[in-house]
Structure 1
Amino acid sequence: MNTVAHILAAKASRHVHTIGPEDTVLTALQVMAENNVGALPVIDGDQLLGIVSERDYARRIILQGRSSVGTPVKAIMSAPVVTVEPRQDLRACMELMTERKLRHLPVVDGGRLIGLLSIGDLVKEVIAEKDGLINQLEQYIRGE
């Protein structure tokens, strides 16, 4: 089974878009929309403080009738943030995301943010692994 490092290496873009804790929720939404992402790690210097997602916005701004213009990200971010390390395997990530009902996992190495995995990244990798296994079995059956 592949590791987080393998999945990150295969991603088209390894750049992680982030937001600061004092930035407004509106700014976070603009960054998410501009970059077509559903969550942003919240960073203060080199420290990962939390993560803010579209889900956080829906539940902590819209449903509570708050303003995204004046509300800082730190007021709605999910913290403490659940993270994974590059050496962890795909299965462990999937179990963690399922148990905690997460859609995004920040990847840290030595306390430093190096990537962000989405549930879509994991599903794509599982499909690729299964397709590869099917291909190998078909070749075996044909005697190739």
Structure 2
Amino acid sequence: MAKMIREVMTRDVEVINPSDTLRDAAEKMRSLNVGPLPVCDGQRVLGMITDRDIVVRGIALGKDPNSTQVSDVMSSGIEYCFDDDNADDILNRMKEKQIRRFIVVDRNKKLVGIVALGDLSGEVSEQKVGEALEGISEPSGPVI
């Protein structure tokens, strides 16, 4: 029987506020040894910021990390899944959308965790994980 996302997700996810600075986000990522942080206003998920967002949308464009807010470079409109979704279905969505992680919310859309491709690797067939990784890893074009 296929597992639900709540059985494999990471709980107690650290978040960051949209008004925090890029430096605050980078320091939190460093101390937690993570690349992504959900951006939340209270319990409402507004988006996600990654170490790559900080570099590509912030530093590379000359934005001051000490004064630029997380909300200025974060990704909004992010993909999410529900904690009672089927792990196989989410793996297929990862492949289709070419993303390695999903924010996990409950049916009230309250943040309850995060699930990454690695979390699913021991829960579904190796072939399915390999196919998803292949789809996720297809190169995209340069930003113009």
Unaligned runs of 5+ in 1: 131-144
1:85 alignment counterpart: 82
Contact 1:39-1:104 within 8 A present in 2 as well:
no
One-letter identity of the residue aligned with 2:73: I
In 2: Cα distance, 1:48 partner to 1:22 partner: 14
- How far apart are 1:84 and its partner, in Å? 0.3
1:2 alignment counterpart: 3
TM-score, length-normalised on structure 1?
0.77
SS in 1 for 2:121: helix
- How far apart are 1:95 and its partner, in Å? 2.0
2:91 alignment counterpart: 94
1:121 alignment counterpart: 119
Q: Would the alpha carbon gap of residues 125 and 34 (structure 1) be closer, same or farther in structure 2, given more than 3 Å must change?
A: farther
SS in 2 for 1:57: helix
Question: Does 1:37 find its partner at 2:34?
Answer: yes
In 2: Cα distance, 1:22 partner to 1:121 partner: 30
Larger Rg: 1
One-letter identity of the residue aligned with 2:48: I
Q: Would the alpha carbon gap of residues 34 and 6 (structure 1) be closer, same or farther in structure 2, given more than 3 Å must change?
A: same
Q: 1:58 aligns with which of 55, 58, 62?
A: 55
> Once the two structures are superposed, what CA deviation does each residue of 1:51-79 show, in whole Å capped at 9, x if it has no partner?
11112122202332322211100011111
- How far apart are 1:119 and its partner, in Å? 2.2
- How far apart are 1:15 and its partner, in Å? 1.4
SS in 1 for 2:75: coil
Q: Would the alpha carbon gap of residues 98 and 55 (structure 1) be closer, same or farther in structure 2, given more than 3 Å must change?
A: farther
Using the aligned pairs only, state the percent identity. Answer: 32
Q: Would the alpha carbon gap of residues 6 and 98 (structure 1) be closer, same or farther in structure 2, given more than 3 Å must change?
A: same
| Structure 1 or 2: more helix by fraction | 1
Q: 2:45 aligns with which of 30, 48, 51?
A: 48
SS in 1 for 2:29: helix
2:71 alignment counterpart: 74
Unaligned runs of 5+ in 2: 127-144
- How far apart are 1:104 and its partner, in Å? 2.2
TM-score, length-normalised on structure 2?
0.77
In 2: Cα distance, 1:92 partner to 1:68 partner: 38
Over aligned residues, Cα RMSD in angstroms?
1.7
